[in-house]
Amino acid sequence: SWHLLHTSIRAHQIMRGNSWPRELGGGLGQLGVGLANFLRKRFGKDNVILSDIRKPPDHIFHGGPFIYSDILDYKNLREIVVNNRITWLFHYSALLSAIGEANVSLARAVNITGLHNVLDVAAEHNLRLFVPSTIGAFGPTSPRNPTPDICIQRPRTIYGVSKVHAELMGEYYHYRYGLDFRCLRYPGIISADSQPGGGTTDYAVQIFHDAVKNGKFECNLKSSTRLPMMYIDDCLRATLEVMEAPAESLSMRTYNVNAMSFTPEDLAQELLKHIPEFQITYNVDSVRQAIADSWPMNFDDSNARKDWGWKHDFDLPELVTTMLNFHGSDTR
Ligand code: AKB
């Protein structure tokens, strides 16, 4: 739907000022608001600016500075950076894997042209730039179990192709122009208070909602589909940690990060420990299944652990307890 699309595109640039007390950011997508809150705790409310092309809900608007920004409008980006003396930029705008296949030309515009604008504005104004990549940057010819940082990357989705492009362009700008580009390949991110939209790993968010509300869930991936996953708190912390890592500690500019790997069946078993009547059924979506079958099953993030000390906090049991606590308190 348009709303879904709208939520997941243009979602979030967040920029932070080091010496100048301004950050600009944006993003009303799955990760943007959580990241803004997280950065605001660390750097101060007024030092993070959230941006999107949509009108934010009241509680977000009142949570700190919010600004209109269109990733496809270069002049608008430049004006924001200059007027607010931005120094860090987090760029989250993207159409995700499944929705990208349904909107290839829009995905190409947002994921590729949008990235070009961000790279140029960051290089021109000497910004530190974070761009998330994904397990979706790998494909059927990549080693899947485990998938190391450096290996064949021939994804078959526009999302994956655009993310490989982002990794390579960011690294190119780094070596060619000295851009301080930092990139993490995220696994599927599971969050309680924000919804993803149009991804292949979305089932692992929706299952909690449906389990608590209805005691059952219809899964659009096969029961045995193993994918790398991470709880949002780990994801936000990894993002800040790599942004704060001393440049000398980074032997690369694009790192895999991971926490756990599970199948829908594993997740259902863990949920059954808390909700004994829970039932899962399977109605496979062929587009999502084909995508998932081409992605890593286990993600090797040993370089992140070695170089800048990455360590996840949440494994499957803690993930399930935390998500259920949230949804439980939500429905009380
Ligand atoms: C998706 O499923 O498309 C995303 C991702 C893993 O990048 N959540």
Sheet with 13-16: strands ordered across: 66-68, 48-52, 13-16, 88-91, 128-134, 180-186, 254-256
Higher pLDDT, 93 or 121: 121
From 183, 200, 206, give the residue whose CB has the most ligand 1 atoms within 8 Å, as the site to mutate. 200
**Structure confidence at residue 27 (pLDDT):** 67
CA distance linking residue 84 with residue 107, whole number of Å? 29
**For residue 226, how far is its CA from the centre of ligand 1 (angstroms)?**
14
Measured CA to CA, the distance from residue 173 to residue 124 in angstroms comes to 11
Q: State pLDDT tens for residues 224-253.
A: 999 999 999 999 999 999 999 999 999 999
Which stretch of DSSP H or E encloses residue 189? strand 188-190
State how far the alpha carbon of 242 is from the alpha carbons of 16, 45, 82, 283, in Å: 14, 21, 25, 38
Pairwise CA distance, residues 211 & 217, whole Å: 6
Ligand 1 lined by 201 (C-beta under 6 Å): yes
Ligand 1 atom at minimum distance from 135 CA: 6
Angstrom distance (rounded) from CA 23 to CA 158 = 31
Residues 6+ apart with CB under 8 A from 177: 123
99 CB under 6 A from ligand 1? no
**Ligand 1 mean position, distance from CA 291 (Å):** 10
Q: 90 CA distance to ligand 1 centroid (A)?
A: 18
For ligand 1, atom 7, the nearest C-alpha belongs to 134
pLDDT tens column, 146-188:
999 999 999 999 999 999 999 999 999 999 999 999 999 999 9
- Is the minimum distance from the CB of 197 to ligand 1 under 6 angstroms? no
Which stretch of 61-70, 93-102, 163-172 has the lowest confidence by average pLDDT?
61-70
Confirm or reject: Cβ of 136 under 6 Å from ligand 1. Answer: yes
Question: Between 27 and 12, whose confidence is greater?
Answer: 27
Nearest CA among 332, 307, 314 for reference residue 233: 314
Nearest to 62, CA basis, from 42, 79, 96, 37: 37
The pLDDT-based confidence of 54 (bands split at 50, 70, 90) is confident
Whether the CB of 205 sits within 6 Å of ligand 1: no
The yes-or-no verdict on residue 281 having pLDDT over 60 is yes
Separation of alpha carbons 297 and 95, rounded Å = 22
Q: Whose CA is nearest to atom 5 of ligand 1?
A: 188
3-state secondary structure 69-124: CCCCCHHHHHHHHHHCCCCEEEECCCCCHHHHHHCHHHHHHHHHHHHHHHHHHHHH
Whether ligand 1 lies within 6 angstroms of the CB of 134 is answered as yes
What percent of the chain shows pLDDT beyond 90? 80
**Among protein residues, the one whose CA lies closest to atom 4 of ligand 1:** 199
For the segment 107-112, the average pLDDT, to the nearest whole number, is 94
What value, to the nearest 5°, has the Cα angle with vertex 126 and ends 121 and 247?
125
Give the global pTM: 0.91
CA of 280 to the centre of ligand 1 (A): 22
Half-sphere exposure of 1 (CA within 13 A, CB side): 3
Which one is predicted more confidently, 169 or 2? 169
Which of the residues are catalytic?
A: 159
**200 CB less than 6 Å from ligand 1?**
yes
CA of 332 to the centre of ligand 1 (A): 31
Tokens found for residue 29: 């997508």
pLDDT at 59: 85
Model confidence at 196: pLDDT above 90? no
**What pLDDT, on a 0 to 100 scale, did the predictor assign at position 28?**
75
> Does ipTM exceed 0.95?
yes
Q: What is the pLDDT of residue 332?
A: 36
Amino acid occupying residue 297: M
User: Which atom of ligand 1 lies closest to the CA of 134?
Assistant: 7
| Amino acid identity at 237 | R
- Residue 258 Cα to ligand 1 middle (Å): 13
